[in-house]
Structure 1
């Protein structure tokens, strides 16, 4: 893949840009295998699941820079000034098509980009997600709610320019710190979630929900986990860090009479419950936003998809001493994955596969199937 921004030195986020893709994939496979070898020396590796080299990213998390008349969306340079990346080649085409109208809207409303150095301005970030069907979820991350009414008044014109806009919200982020969003979300549209259809499963992503940023590879990851779930024939499934229910809703073989998901985000759990209601057998799915519930449940199969920091000692020990016959662990960090596997000696890794969620970068997703010894 060629990127003009990278070649010009304007953006170096994709650190593997210019490295042939087959080599990127091979190198990641080696790194993943090396990370797991000390704790899983006999694991069988399936062929890596490759991605499209470009146009794969379904979510853009842009800093809004520039000035009131000429806002930019992209990243900040070393002087904390905006670099416009609206033609970024790793973004899905439906995002690229939407960016000009969104930038025009920001300028037309007169939202002042947040100046990091001076700590003044209205809008900090623009977060846009696209579904496989091309619909959009747009979030305006604002420093205050002073311009909320202006955005509301201008929204009909934006929806006229972007008829694919399904969900819009304002996120309030008043603090000056290096996090992307605040806790408070204000919905601007009647629809509260973006419908993401993968095969026969419909997932519902709210503004503060989580979904993998590479839709095609996420679908492959879910299929792999579903195949493993079918092989293990569980009567019960427990999905920890379930998000909007991607694993739970895919990993429900006929043998599983109960499928339970646990996630701390109430917004994500609401989406998971909505998805479950569309399934032919909705009664066997339950979801909770209370992580303490998991400790009171036994399951034949446990599925985990934790953040980069991994499970940690407490959760790993609970799983290690629990009753689950099998564990499916999906990780975006091979180092913390290996550390967690070392904490669970009663479980043996038998199969693993690399999923290339992030081409042009060194990041990767690794899924592992483990069985109790």
Structure 2
């Protein structure tokens, strides 16, 4: 992949861009294997890869510049904007939508937030594209000052982007390096249909989904195959998000429960289960609190935590429980290795690297541990 922004020194987010892609994948595999070297009998399957460019289903663009000449991209060291509308990582639909979003900033007179002076309203534009090429757009604002203008000009944005299905405004009033706030103001639609392997997931504006749709689908398929090999009758999916793993694992005669702290995500997962006709149930709760309060353990537990991992309390509960298998999907091999070490009765037996994030050092690692 070639990038004019990188060559010009304007953006270095893709830290591994000068490294040939095959060498990137090899390095990620080696890094994960080194961190899990304490289990020499662990079977490593070949890494799963996708396109090395045009793969991102999300565009997280900092808005800067002026109303008449906004930039969508990142901030430089002085807090001023660098426009990255031609970024080669975005899926084509996102790439093609960014000029219309920039034009909308001007049309609706949305003043870009100026970090050095702490003035302005519009901080970020967040856009997501589904496998069916439909769009969700979120405007991250400092206040409600511009909401009326966004609503007024929304028909023109829909005319420019015929596949636009969801629009919302997120309120983030703090001057802080925080992407979004807690309050979301719906402006159009409520969820984006995300079809993955025949299952329709529903992404609400604040829901999480992997940024690489093709590799995420492969991750769910692999997880489902490993779980089917283990043949559990009961499964808990912790940190389940909108239900990606839980819905792929649901089978007749198998009791599946997903647990997620986000009310939006749980509501979306329940809708997906109802539409798919599967028996998975979903609970709104903190994963550790919910699990450690259960009187009995299931046959298999899926964990897909944030970068900090599952932590000592949950790992200790799993270690002393009767759980026979743990399927661990990790975006941080360092905390993965730490958590596995805290569960010595559960031996990692199978692992695979999924390259969700080409051109960077980040990776997803799937591990099956069995008692």
What TM-score do you get using the length of structure 2 for normalisation?
0.97
Q: Which whole-Å CA distance do the structure 1 matches of 2:196 and 2:261 have between them?
A: 24
- Residue in structure 1 matched with residue 16 of structure 2 by the alignment: 16
Whether 1:32 aligns to 2:27 is: no
Q: What residue ranges of structure 2 are gaps of 5+ in the alignment?
A: none
Whether the 8 Å contact between 1:10 and 1:83 is mirrored in structure 2 is yes
Moved more, 78-87 or 295-304: 295-304
1:272-303 Cα deviation digits (max 9, x unpaired): 001000123x3x21101112333316211100
1:18-61 Cα deviation digits (max 9, x unpaired): 211111111111001001112x2211000000120100010011
Indicate which of 197, 200, 219 corresponds to 2:198: 200
- Residue in structure 2 matched with residue 300 of structure 1 by the alignment: 299
- Residue in structure 2 matched with residue 234 of structure 1 by the alignment: 232
Q: Which whole-Å CA distance do the structure 2 matches of 1:229 and 1:119 have between them?
A: 50
Whether 1:290 aligns to 2:285 is: yes
Whether the 8 Å contact between 1:327 and 1:371 is mirrored in structure 2 is yes
Q: Give the deviation of 1:115 after TM superposition.
A: 0.6
Q: What residue ranges of structure 1 are gaps of 5+ in the alignment?
A: none
Q: Which runs of 4+ in 1 moved over 3 A?
A: none
- Residue in structure 1 matched with residue 267 of structure 2 by the alignment: 270
Q: Which whole-Å CA distance do the structure 2 matches of 1:167 and 1:125 have between them?
A: 16
Whether the 8 Å contact between 1:229 and 1:252 is mirrored in structure 2 is no
Q: Give the deviation of 1:337 after TM superposition.
A: 0.3
Indicate which of 235, 250, 253 corresponds to 1:252: 250
1:100-152 Cα deviation digits (max 9, x unpaired): 11110011111111011100101001111100111011100000001111101
SS in 2 for 1:188: strand
Q: Which whole-Å CA distance do the structure 1 matches of 2:155 and 2:308 have between them?
A: 41
- Residue in structure 1 matched with residue 132 of structure 2 by the alignment: 133
Q: Which whole-Å CA distance do the structure 1 matches of 2:322 and 2:175 have between them?
A: 45
Q: Which whole-Å CA distance do the structure 1 matches of 2:320 and 2:193 have between them?
A: 38
Q: Which whole-Å CA distance do the structure 2 matches of 1:105 and 1:209 have between them?
A: 24
Q: Which whole-Å CA distance do the structure 1 matches of 2:59 and 2:297 have between them?
A: 38
SS in 2 for 1:10: coil
Q: Give the deviation of 1:255 after TM superposition.
A: 4.6
Whether 1:118 aligns to 2:104 is: no
- Residue in structure 2 matched with residue 151 of structure 1 by the alignment: 150
What TM-score do you get using the length of structure 1 for normalisation?
0.97
Q: Which whole-Å CA distance do the structure 2 matches of 1:223 and 1:246 have between them?
A: 10
What is the count of residue pairs matched by the alignment? 367
Moved more, 288-297 or 73-82: 288-297
SS in 2 for 1:68: coil
